[in-house]
């Protein structure tokens, strides 16, 4: 080996060793090793966010994983703002209706449903697993509607069962239902019919901000182009700027609520 090659190998080994010694800048459990998680808990990172998100139709213009992409982005911001939190993998199978005589979102190709009792059981054991390892504040947030009741019921059930244990579960429904984004859009001059209830201005704006590649801009149309599109409202009025605001409102209300719930313990 020539001196030049030997020096290059030494430099590469030094860089590799240095990179390997540094913990990654991430809050996502799935991007950490088990020893890194253990060390984080030992150092006071005892809050963990469990996000849930439906896999459901979002009209011709928006991908089925809309909720997952939005809540993953929001969870990252929430965890970093809290400063002592990590984020569990997103649960993407949630209640979306019955398989027999499919209706609602399940009438559209690609939507996946999970009966509420099974959704609740998976959520319960995700929380139980996290508590075993030393997380004391387990936060449930959901980006879609069908999973809200199940999260609330599991939180209540576990908190009763854990009355004498250090761990608590906090269901933060405000993330989804009381974040102020619709009211803010009203203030921008959009009425509720234009905003829509599904795949309209709010949803489309948030995904435009998180990842515009997941929006089929050529398919944007008021009410998705017509009856049966799966869209309500006018997504053509969506913007990444609106999306940034909507996500920040979700983050702000969730961080505030989590801090209050932990302080009330």
CATH number of 25-264: 3.40.50.10310
Q: Would you kindly state where each structural domain of the chain is located, as residue ranges?
A: 25-264
Distances (CA, A) of 11 to 1, 6, 18, 22, 237: 15, 9, 11, 17, 53
pLDDT at 7 over 90: no
* Dist CA 82 CA 232 (whole Å): 34
Q: How confident is the model at residue 4 (pLDDT cuts 50, 70, 90)?
A: low
Q: How large is the average pLDDT for residues 116-132?
A: 98
pTM attached to this predicted model? 0.91
Q: How confident is the model at residue 172 (pLDDT cuts 50, 70, 90)?
A: very high
Q: With pLDDT > 90 as the criterion, what percentage of the chain qualifies?
A: 89
Q: Which among 82, 58, 47, 75 has a CA at the least distance from the CA of 168?
A: 47
pLDDT at 1 over 90: no
Average pLDDT value over all residues in the chain: 93
Q: With pLDDT > 70 as the criterion, what percentage of the chain qualifies?
A: 92
Q: How large is the average pLDDT for residues 201-211?
A: 98
pLDDT at res. 109:
97
pLDDT at res. 15:
47
Q: What is the pLDDT of residues 87-106, one digit of tens each?
A: 999 999 999 999 998 988 99
Burial class (CB in 10 A: 0-12, 13-18, 19+), 44: exposed
pLDDT at res. 22:
74
């Amino acid at each position: 080996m020539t001196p030049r090659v030997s020096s290059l190998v030494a430099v590469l080994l030094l860089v590799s060793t240095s990179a390997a010694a540094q913990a990654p800048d991430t809050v996502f459990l799935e991007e950490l090793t088990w020893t890194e998680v253990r060390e984080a808990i030992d150092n006071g990172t005892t809050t963990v966010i469990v996000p849930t998100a439906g896999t459901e139709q979002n009209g011709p213009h928006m991908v089925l994983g809309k909720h997952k992409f939005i809540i993953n982005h929001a969870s990252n911001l929430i965890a970093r703002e809290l400063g002592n939190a990590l984020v569990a993998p997103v649960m993407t199978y949630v209640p979306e209706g019955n398989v027999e005589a499919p209706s609602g979102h399940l009438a559209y190709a690609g939507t996946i449903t999970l009966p509420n009792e099974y959704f609740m059981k998976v959520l319960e054991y995700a929380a139980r697993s996290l508590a075993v390892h030393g997380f004391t504040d387990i936060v449930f947030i959901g980006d879609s509607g069908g999973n809200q009741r199940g999260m609330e019921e599991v939180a209540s059930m576990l908190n009763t069962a854990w009355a004498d244990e250090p761990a608590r579960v906090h269901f933060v429904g405000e993330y989804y239902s009381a974040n102020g984004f619709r009211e803010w859009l009203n203030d921008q001059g959009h009425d509720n019919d234009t905003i829509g209830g599904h795949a309209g201005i709010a949803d489309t704006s948030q995904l435009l901000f998180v990842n515009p590649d997941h929006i089929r801009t050529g398919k944007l149309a008021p009410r998705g182009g017509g009856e049966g599109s799966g869209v309500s409202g006018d997504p053509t009025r969506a913007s990444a700027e609106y999306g940034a605001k909507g996500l920040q409102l979700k983050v702000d209300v969730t961080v505030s609520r989590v801090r209050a719930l932990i302080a009330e313990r």
